[in-house]
Amino acid sequence: MTQIVVLPHVELCPDGAVIDAEPGTSICDALLAHDIEIEHACEKSCACTTCHVVVREGFASLEAAEELEEDMLDKAWGLEPNSRLSCQALVAETPLVVEIPKYTINMVGEGGGRK
């Protein structure tokens, strides 16, 4: 199992969390399995940016993003060099520290973004 430290997020994980994930699991699935309800409006099909996360530690252990993910990330609020769509980033053996951005642009659902 690989440890994922989730930094505090005011709505989704106010105290932060430390969770374990099986290598090969997406960050999104790992979060959801531990009751951290990250948005995933496109049902994890790489068609939106609602599951955008910033990988603060362990980024280099993730396989490189594919072109479709890179194109979607260009539309993400608060994009950083170590941003990933959590539905596409698969956990490896290296522990991760992940931050869920404060805001998201919900490109699929109505109503814009979450605050």
Domain ranges in the chain are 2-114
pLDDT in tens, 6-62: 999 999 999 999 999 999 999 999 999 999 999 998 999 999 999 999 999 999 999
pTM equals 0.89
- Parallel, antiparallel or unpaired: strands 2-6 and 96-99: parallel
2-114, what's its fold? Ubiquitin-like (UB roll) (3.10.20)
